[in-house]
Amino acid sequence: MNKIDYILENYSDENILSADGFDDAILGIDDKNMRLINIYSIKKCIEILVSKGKSEDEVSEYFYFNVEGAYVGDKTPIWCNNLFNENE
């Protein structure tokens, strides 16, 4: 089961927003506000976009303006500048 399916199954009573194409960057859920801890890893989001053939400079500009900068209400995902190895 992938991350988003797991969250949707285990939090089926909540209206959870997710960012299309970034499921592999999900780190968890904010239980207090019921929004994805989208704490989506910014680093992983950039890697996902780069893997689609764009340069890191193009991707960074796009991500910070169009993805992180988008506000979609109270359930807007949280974006995390993960400072540590995700495997620790």
52 part of a folded domain: yes
Instruction: State the residue range of the domain holding 48.
Output: 3-80
Residue 64 is encoded by which pair of tokens?
Answer: 């910070």
| Domain count within the chain | 1
The answer as to whether 86 is a domain residue is: no
Rounded Cα gap, residues 2 and 6, in angstroms? 6
Whether 59 is in a domain gets the answer: yes
Asked, for residue 47, whether it belongs to a domain, the answer is: yes
State if pTM tops 0.95: no
The whole-angstrom separation of Cα 48 and Cα 3 is 15
Q: Are 17 and 7 in contact (CB under 8 A)?
A: no
Model pLDDT, residue 40: 83
Q: Tens digits of per-residue pLDDT, 7-66? A: 888 887 877 778 888 888 888 887 776 665 546 888 888 999 999 988 988 898 899 999
In a domain, 88, yes or no: no
For the beta sheet containing 35-41, the strands, ordered from the edge strand earlier in sequence to the opposite edge, are 26-30, 35-41, 79-80
